[in-house]
Amino acid sequence: MKTVLRFSLLGALLLGGHAFAAEPKKFDISMFPAAEVNQERVVIRLPEVDNEADMMVELQVGKKMQVDCNLPRFAGNLEQRSVKGWGYNYLQLGKVSDPISTLMACPDGQKKEAFVQIYGQGFFVNYNSKLPFVIYVPQEYEVRYRLWRADALAQPAMIE
């Protein structure tokens, strides 16, 4: 799990390295609660960039499963919690539904391994290089993330 996060961050740095001003600063996370039994505490540290207000982070939580030609997904939410006495926020994965899926007939009947994502509230967060994102998930789930950047040119809305 930790290796996946490290390689994800490394890939982001290599692909968009020119946009990043510096490596993420180490922020002490000792005030955050330890992960409960059968849970993991995942930490995402983002580097400083120009115009952080123009960026968002999409958190992708899910797990690898054997799937056919249908489109499976889970339903659930990332709930924001606060570290008592500190005011720092962290995210906790709430209750997750059993996987739901389209019901297409798959002609070949073959299955492949794929990342099945949880969809719901709390998966898009503001970019923040000053504080790490601390996320608590059950051990069977994996956390990934994508960076979104706003277009530099705002388009005028049409009055009709």
For the entire predicted model, the pTM comes to 0.78
Residue 133 lies in a domain: yes
Look up residue 127 and give its two tokens. Answer: 């970019």
Residue 33 lies in a domain: no
pLDDT at 17: 45
Q: What is the CATH number of the domain that holds 47?
A: 2.60.40.550
pLDDT at 10: 42
Over the chain (160 residues), the average pLDDT of each successive run of 10 is 45 45 70 95 95 96 95 96 94 94 88 96 96 96 97 92
Q: What's the CA gap between 76 and 71, in Å, rounded?
A: 16
Q: What's the CA gap between 13 and 46, in Å, rounded?
A: 10
Q: Is residue 143 classed exposed, middle or buried when 0-12, 13-18 and 19+ CB atoms within 10 A define those classes? A: buried
Residue 90 lies in a domain: yes
pLDDT at 15: 46
Q: Which residue segment(s) compose the domain that 43 sits in?
A: 39-101+109-149
DSSP 38: T
Our count of domains for the chain comes to 1
Residue 32 lies in a domain: no
Residue 154 lies in a domain: no
Residue 131 lies in a domain: yes
Residue 44 lies in a domain: yes
Cα–Cα distances (Å) from 137 to 19, 78, 121, in that order, read 30, 9, 15
Contact status, residue 21 vs residue 13, Cβ threshold 8 Å: no
pLDDT at 20: 46
Residue 23 lies in a domain: no
